[in-house]
């Protein structure tokens, strides 16, 4: 065993973990080949309510509606910190932003963190990544070398771009910048189809993450053929959008929905490829997003995220796995937060879950949806870095929140802030905080939130505390991002705050 340990390149503890848990399994190649494939479809800024199956009266998503009928719909999925980099880091590690320091955009997730592809590599998987990475922290245009790809082998990625019709990427270890043809989501999908066809006949399981840029703004750059489907004056707005935001919301929603329908076409193409290759039965397919989009609701301008309301914090989460799924076309109300995703996938795949992972394995809710229970899913605004609210009066407060199967409860640094009954008030227009009839409910939810914070060792302090703790530079002018100080945030520093 000690000879095998020496072949690994991570820390001693990581090598020991893999030696104990994975080496016996890897000796059985046939068993590895029986593990399910994983196809993870990650979109950017797609809010949970913006699908046909979720009841949006505007958007056309026939392929997602099909996936919902064939899979399990987690209707109370939240983004652990509703902005790009924090969600992606939590997805890859199964850990909370307060544990990794990844609570700001453009931060660097160091290689010392144990990530999805590294775990799956040891379990015998081929690992592919296509699209927007946004956890490298070395500049949005820069080449990402193999040692900073967290275990992904097949690579057609970029750090961050939203120039969808002239989108750059890097292929494998070639440092020369390339560009996707036309609308990048279509080209990325074709590339993914080729990968699936190759891997489906290899006798080895694959895990492919496709990280699309849309429907993140700019919305006007969506394909014209899809924008024509959504005349702005015919769009129905949510009741939570005040009159002052309606004109802007209609303008942005045309392109937003167009991006959604274009991506729905991509998803249909991928599902067809799984069918054609005979891989459907043994492939876990997930469709989700890194965060949502307020689109004018609650007085927030279109483009706002990070805030705790349902439009920004809740994301779609569909999971289809025919070989192990207990039922199809079911809605599970059990709440799910981002760190739960990785252990759930590992649980479904029969891969041991490392001790570093902090999220919960919810695979039982997939296998037996009828008996899925309630829980409190934690999400948080640790140090919101952009004030995009109306007239400079944004809601970029520090907060901690939980989502249960029925309620949303939020505290800011001053105390209870928001409480909604999501069953009777799905657009969150009636804040119950401080109302006598909700006093006992508020007390109970506050206790549940405090229990989650205690479990995470989170004292819930002001944003600057976390910025100082993790060694980030101060805000630069009006920039929406803090920049990562690699010298301060060393592996030793990271280990000291876990």
Parallel, antiparallel, or unpaired: how do β-strands 168-171 and 178-179 relate? Answer: antiparallel
The reply to whether 149 and 21 lie within a common domain is no
Find the radius of gyration of the CA atoms of the chain: 22
**Residue-wise pLDDT tens digits, 19-53:** 444 444 444 344 445 899 999 999 999 999 999 99
**Does 387 map to a domain?**
no
Whether 254 and 345 share a structural domain: yes
Q: Which residue has the tokens 């609210």?
A: 389
Is 84 catalytic? The answer is yes
Residue among 257, 267, 232 nearest 49 (CA): 257
- 437 conformational bin, left if phi > 0, alpha if psi -120 to 50, beta if neither: alpha
pLDDT band at 182 (very low <50, low <70, confident <90, very high): very high
Burial class (CB in 10 A: 0-12, 13-18, 19+), 8: middle
Is residue 15 scored above 70 in pLDDT?
no
Domain contains 256: yes
Q: Per the residue annotation, which of 81, 84, 115, 314 is the catalytic one?
A: 84
* Sheet hosting strand 407-412, strand order edge to edge: 377-381, 399-403, 407-412, 415-421
Distance CA 116, CA 108 (A): 16
**Is the per-residue pLDDT at 386 higher than 80?**
no
Helices 243-277, 62-70: crossing angle, 10 deg rounding:
60
Q: What is the mean pLDDT of residues 303-318?
A: 95
The percentage of the chain sitting over the pLDDT mark of 70, rounded to a whole number, equals: 86
Tokens of 106: 């453009």
Q: Give 111's pLDDT tier (boundaries 50, 70, 90).
A: confident
Cα 217 to Cα 64, 142, 164, 295, 428, distances in angstroms: 21, 21, 10, 11, 24
In a domain, 445, yes or no: no
Q: Please tell me whether residues 43 and 14 are part of one structural domain.
A: no
pLDDT average, residue stretch 455-481? 76
Q: Is 266 a catalytic residue?
A: no
Q: Residue 64: which pLDDT band, with cuts at 50, 70 and 90?
A: very high
- 29 and 42 inside one domain: no
Q: Which domain holds residue 27?
A: 1-34
Q: Looking at the structure, tell me whether residues 331 and 204 fall in a common domain.
A: yes
Hey, what are 311's tokens? 């439009």
Q: Which of 36-50, 143-157, 372-386 has the lowest mean pLDDT?
A: 372-386
Is the pLDDT assigned to residue 4 strictly greater than 90?
no
Q: Do both 28 and 57 map to the same domain?
A: no
Q: What is the CATH number of the domain that holds 85?
A: 3.40.720.10
b/e for 245-259, b at 16 or more Cβ within 10 A? Answer: beebbbebbbbbbbb
Q: Does residue 491 form part of some domain?
A: no
Number of domains comprising the chain:
2
Same domain, 62 and 177: yes
Q: How far apart are CA 60 and CA 335, in angstroms?
A: 26
Task: For residues 296 and 357, state if they share a domain.
Answer: yes
The reported pLDDT for the residue numbered 201 is: 84
Query: Could you tell me the two tokens for 248?
Result: 């802007």
Same-domain pairing of 24 and 95:
no
Same domain (yes/no): 252, 333: yes
Let me know if residue 408 belongs to a domain: no
| Of residues 80, 81, 78, 86, the one with CA closest to residue 135 | 86
Per DSSP, the three-state class of 271 is helix
Structural domain ending residue among the three candidates 341, 370, 399: 370
On the CB side of 30, CA atoms within 13 Å amount to 0
Would 493 be classed as within a structural domain?
Answer: no
Q: How confident is the model at residue 492 (pLDDT cuts 50, 70, 90)?
A: very low
Which of 343, 370, 397 is the last residue before a domain boundary? 370
3-state secondary structure of 378: strand
More confident: 16 or 247: 247
What's this model's pTM, rounded to 2 decimal places? 0.90
Which of 339, 370, 401 lies at the terminal end of a domain, its last residue? 370
Indicate the pairing of strand 399-403 with strand 377-381: antiparallel
What is the rounded distance in angstroms from the CA atom of residue 361 to the CA atom of residue 368? 13
Cα-Cα-Cα-Cα dihedral of 181, 185, 191, 194, to 10°? -130
Residue 337 counted as domain residue: yes
| Tokens encoding 215 | 């429907």
335 and 220 in a common domain: yes
Strand spans (E) along 36-90: 37-44, 72-74, 77-78
Task: Return mean pLDDT, the chain.
Answer: 89
User: Which regions of 37-136 does DSSP assign to beta strands (E)?
Assistant: 37-44, 72-74, 77-78, 126-132
Q: How confident is the model at residue 416 (pLDDT cuts 50, 70, 90)?
A: very high
18 and 91 in a single domain? The answer is: no
What's the pLDDT score for residue 303? 87
Which of 456, 471, 498 has the alpha carbon at shortest distance from 114? 498
pLDDT at residue 1 greater than cutoff 70: no
Please tell me which residue in 81, 87, 115, 134 is annotated as part of the active site.
134
Residue 388 domain-assigned (yes or no): no
Reported as a single tens digit per residue, the pLDDT across 206-262 is 999 999 999 999 999 999 999 999 999 999 999 999 999 999 999 999 999 999 999
Task: Identify which has the larger pLDDT, 24 or 459.
Answer: 459
The mean pLDDT value for 356-364 works out to 98
Segment 96-110 mean pLDDT: 95
């Amino acid at each position: 065993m000690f000879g095998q340990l020496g072949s690994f390149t991570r820390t001693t503890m990581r090598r020991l973990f893999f030696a104990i848990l994975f080496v016996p399994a890897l000796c059985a190649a046939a068993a590895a080949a029986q593990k399910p494939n994983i196809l993870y479809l990650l979109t950017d800024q797609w809010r949970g309510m913006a699908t046909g199956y979720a009841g949006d009266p505007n958007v056309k998503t026939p392929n997602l509606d099909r996936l919902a009928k064939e899979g399990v719909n987690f209707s109370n999925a939240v983004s652990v910190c509703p902005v790009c980099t924090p969600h992606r880091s939590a997805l890859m590690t199964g850990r909370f932003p307060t544990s990794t320091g990844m609570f700001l955009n453009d931060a660097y997730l160091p290689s010392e963190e144990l990530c999805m592809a590294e775990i799956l590599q040891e379990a015998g998987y081929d690992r592919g990544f296509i699209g927007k990475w946004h956890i490298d922290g070395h500049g949005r245009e820069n080449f990402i070398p193999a040692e900073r790809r967290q275990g992904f082998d097949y690579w057609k990625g970029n750090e961050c771009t939203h120039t969808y019709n002239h989108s750059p990427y890097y292929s494998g270890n070639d440092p020369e910048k390339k560009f996707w043809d036309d609308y990048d989501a279509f080209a990325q999908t074709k590339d993914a189809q080729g990968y699936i066809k190759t891997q489906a006949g290899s006798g080895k399981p694959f895990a492919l993450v496709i990280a699309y840029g849309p429907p993140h703004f700019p919305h006007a750059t969506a394909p014209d053929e899809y924008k024509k489907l959504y005349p702005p004056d015919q769009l129905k707005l949510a009741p939570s959008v005040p009159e002052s935001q309606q004109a802007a919301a209609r303008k942005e929603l045309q392109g937003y929905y167009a991006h959604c329908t274009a991506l729905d076409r991509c998803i249909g193409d991928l599902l067809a490829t799984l069918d054609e290759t005979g891989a459907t039965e043994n492939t876990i397919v997930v469709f989700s997003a890194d965060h949502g989009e307020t689109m004018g609701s609650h007085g927030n301008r279109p483009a706002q995220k990070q805030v705790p309301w349902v439009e920004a914090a809740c994301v779609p989460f569909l999971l289809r796995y025919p070989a192990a799924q207990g039922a199809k076309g079911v809605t599970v109300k059990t709440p799910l937060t981002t760190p739960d995703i990785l252990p759930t996938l590992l649980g479904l795949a029969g891969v041991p879950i490392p001790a570093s992972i902090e999220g919960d394995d919810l695979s039982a809710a997939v296998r037996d949806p009828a008996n899925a229970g309630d829980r409190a899913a934690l999400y948080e605004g640790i140090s919101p870095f952009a004030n995009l609210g109306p007239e400079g009066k944004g809601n970029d407060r520090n907060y901690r929140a939980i989502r249960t199967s029925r309620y949303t409860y939020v505290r800011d640094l001053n105390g209870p802030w928001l409480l909604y009954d999501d069953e009777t008030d799905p657009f969150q227009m009636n804040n119950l905080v401080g109302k006598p009839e909700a006093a006992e409910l508020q007390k109970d939810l506050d206790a549940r939130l405090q229990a989650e914070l205690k479990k995470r060792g989170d004292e819930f302090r002001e944003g600057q505390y976390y910025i100082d703790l993790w060694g980030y530079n101060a805000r630069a002018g009006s920039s929406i991002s803090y920049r990562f100080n690699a010298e301060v945030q060393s592996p030793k520093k990271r280990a000291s705050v876990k």
